[in-house]
Structure 1
Amino acid sequence: MKKLLNTLYVTTQGTYLARKGLTVDVRVEKKTKVRIPIHTLAGVVCFGRVAMSPALMELCGLRNVGVSFLSERGRFFGRVQGPVSGNVLLRREQYRRADDLEATLRIGRAVVTAKIANSRTVLQRGLRDHGEKIPVPPVNDALDRMGAGLARVGTLDALDAVRGIEGETSRAYFGVFDHLIVAQKDHFSFRDRNRRPPLDRVNALLSFLYTVLSHDVSSALQAVGLDPAVGFLHRDRSGRASLALDLMEELRAVMVDRLVLSLINRQQIRGKGFVVTESGAVLMDDGTRKEVLAAYQKRKQEELTHPFLDEKIPLGLLPHVQALLLSRHLRGDLDGYPPFIWK
């Protein structure tokens, strides 16, 4: 099994990243703060005004360390990646399947099945952990509606119908998401999912971590030789990583939603760690951003038993494992794509 490597998140404005031998030299105000061996890194994510030397960019390309550039608030700008790995025949098969309505339907149904099941698990664990503080009837009602959608997905014969069920169950899920927040209610409340910009602290956390997750998923897809831009559930759109969005649907609840609830309910982050701009956008301050990224890294170290592989893996390897399973399906080694369903 692939070893889980670290991701370097750089949030301090004005940081300069340079190459020093086979290490990443992190400099702030011309002083070296830390040196990180390149072989320990899977990726580098730069937020805001962070610069990188051409020599380091070359090293990252040679070592297949993806580099993503985001705005200070987490909006994706671009990505630098070394030579594409994998077999060109795999990508040709990916493109062929993406044009095959029956193939896209099968993969789309699998992805949405996992998304609904994993979102239901978040609600069920919320009831298990905080049942005495959560209004049970509306959460149970959402679980019932999502369960009904889950039962229907496998019977649908059109991708638009699958997307419709995904939308309905997502609205049911986020309709009771606020009930799972049982601490700091004066500062953290959730009415609906909003983005670009996020208009409350909970959406700010979700949007930020979804962007970070998208880096991990895109890196995993490229590492196994797949094209992140050509998806099945999400159709092609210029500038959109559609396949990365497909795999993210399975993993959002597991890797992000549950973490956001834990950070709030355990009071690991506070309401004062956010700022509201004149436009109404809610953003994390630098300290909160660092706390959230540290918690995300720690979350990725947690282990779980993968239901298809039947072996323990770190949570952070889920994007790689699912990308690998998808590539095996496209190559014909697996009859169907086995999505990740959280137990």
Structure 2
Amino acid sequence: MRRLLNTIYITDEEMYLALDGENIVCKLENEIKLRVPFDNIEGIVCMNYVGCSPALMGKCVSKMIPINFISPQGRFLAKVCGETKGNVFLRVQQLDCFRENGLTLTQNTMAAKFSNTRQLIKRTLHDNPELREDNEIAKILDVLYDGIEKVYDTEQIESVVGIEGNCAQSYFSIFNKLITNKDVPFTFNYRNKRPPLDPVNALLSFVYTLETTEYGAALETVGLDSYIGFCHTLRSGRKSLACDLVEEARCIVERFCLSLLNLKIVGEEDFEKQISGAVYLNEDGRKKVLAKWQEKKRTDIQHPYLKQKIPFGLLPYIQSNLLAKYVRGDIEAYPPYLQK
């Protein structure tokens, strides 16, 4: 269990929550592991199988503390809360904030994305000295650095998106070099999607979808509308705000996929090619990736804004919480996730 930004996150799948007077009690195998007073608790996010007691749910409803139930795989299931009094105002604030500050949010998000991508490449160079003299990789590092400066010279969101597109195309032009294990039977030529046409693109698309789903669930827990974004254009059925926030974490997804490939955790037997030419993970491949993804979510990362370690699986919830605080005016600026 973690308490971050006045929200309790239950990450142990076997933990059970119960009520004891004015306290939330966390039990594991009928043994009390932790007792937390209700004071200053703004929300509870349960990622456990066994849930919580009806008495606790009733108490939380009376105190207007929402309980969000998320599957261990990161999919939003349900929310228990009292009469809606605040979310409608938060959503109005969300629209006003994004209209007024959408450009700044987009600039900061894309600058963070470029910086995080540079960190991913530099880590690969650190682990593989033979790539340090590669002129093409060095050039892409410069392109990404220039991109950080260029986004702040623009005055339109569309221009920032154009810069992002050029940087992404340049980055993926050297992505195959980051697959450093020469025994990997796949090659990556360029990014393609809807549908992916090769195993590497299929793997990237699958994990991008996992992470976007988790950001969508996280936004739901804080009361923001995941379909109303500041960067991605509105499109019926698309969680544009989740797509916006996931840009900061794409480097983690890409590093994860590179590890699966370089360690040969996934191979040719884990993919299937459709008659149309589309390539997807098969059932065994999805099971492998999901198992490793759950392991990844339990690993700790240093959060630059909170200045403390958190499980990677909580990153979407922390960033969504910070964005909600920014929209409400509790903090002066939204701090995008930056890898160090």
Q: Per the shorter chain, which TM-score range?
A: 0.7 to 0.9
Gap regions ≥5 residues in structure 1: 8-35, 41-61, 70-77
Greater shift, 192-201 or 128-137, is seen at: 128-137
TM superposition shift of 1:314: 0.9
Distance 2:184 2:315 in 1: 35
| Residue 313 of structure 1 pairs with residue 303 of structure 2 | no
Contact kept in structure 1, 2:76 and 2:217, CA below 8 Å: no
Summarize the Cα distance change of 1:4–1:68 in structure 2 as closer, same or farther, 3 Å threshold: closer
Aligned to 2:114: 116
| Residue 192 of structure 1 pairs with residue 190 of structure 2 | yes
Aligned to 2:91: 91
Summarize the Cα distance change of 1:298–1:66 in structure 2 as closer, same or farther, 3 Å threshold: closer
Among 187, 207, 220, the alignment partner of 1:222 is: 220
Contact kept in structure 2, 1:199 and 1:281, CA below 8 Å: yes
Distance 2:162 2:131 in 1: 32
Summarize the Cα distance change of 1:186–1:292 in structure 2 as closer, same or farther, 3 Å threshold: closer
Render the CA deviation track for 1:201-252: whole Å, top value 9, x for unaligned.
Answer: 1001001111111111001001011000000011211111110000011111
Summarize the Cα distance change of 1:338–1:228 in structure 2 as closer, same or farther, 3 Å threshold: same
| Residue 303 of structure 1 pairs with residue 300 of structure 2 | yes
Aligned to 2:285: 288
Aligned to 1:65: 69
Summarize the Cα distance change of 1:312–1:80 in structure 2 as closer, same or farther, 3 Å threshold: closer
1:48-197, aligned counterparts within 5 Å?
A: 64-66=68-70, 81-82=78-79, 87-100=87-100, 103-132=101-130, 136-184=134-182, 187-197=185-195
Higher RCO by CA contacts (8 Å cutoff, separation 6 or greater): 1
Gap regions ≥5 residues in structure 2: 14-47, 53-65
TM superposition shift of 1:115: 0.9
What is the Cα-based RMSD across aligned positions, in Å? 2.5
| Residue 339 of structure 1 pairs with residue 297 of structure 2 | no
- For the residue of structure 2 that corresponds to 1:3, the secondary structure is strand
Distance 2:194 2:293 in 1: 22
| Residue 262 of structure 1 pairs with residue 259 of structure 2 | yes
Aligned to 1:37: 49
Distance 2:205 2:227 in 1: 20
Greater shift, 189-198 or 124-133, is seen at: 124-133
Distance 1:4 1:292 in 2: 23
Distance 1:316 1:291 in 2: 18
Aligned to 1:56: none
Aligned to 2:250: 252
Summarize the Cα distance change of 1:96–1:68 in structure 2 as closer, same or farther, 3 Å threshold: farther
TM-score (norm 2): 0.77
Distance 1:166 1:211 in 2: 19
Aligned to 2:11: 5
TM superposition shift of 1:184: 4.9
Distance 2:200 2:261 in 1: 9
Distance 1:156 1:83 in 2: 43
Moved over 6 A (4+): none
Amino acid at match of 1:171: Q
Distance 1:334 1:186 in 2: 46
Amino acid at match of 1:3: Y
**Identical columns (%):** 38
Aligned to 1:326: 323
Contact kept in structure 2, 1:184 and 1:264, CA below 8 Å: no
* Matched pairs, number: 283
Aligned to 2:209: 211
TM superposition shift of 1:288: 1.6
TM superposition shift of 1:6: 6.8
TM superposition shift of 1:179: 0.4
Greater shift, 149-158 or 80-89, is seen at: 80-89
- For the residue of structure 2 that corresponds to 1:187, the secondary structure is coil
Summarize the Cα distance change of 1:6–1:234 in structure 2 as closer, same or farther, 3 Å threshold: farther
TM-score (norm 1): 0.76
Aligned to 1:274: 271
Contact kept in structure 2, 1:67 and 1:81, CA below 8 Å: no
Contact kept in structure 2, 1:111 and 1:339, CA below 8 Å: yes
Amino acid at match of 1:205: L
TM superposition shift of 1:67: 7.0
Summarize the Cα distance change of 1:134–1:281 in structure 2 as closer, same or farther, 3 Å threshold: farther
Amino acid at match of 1:327: A
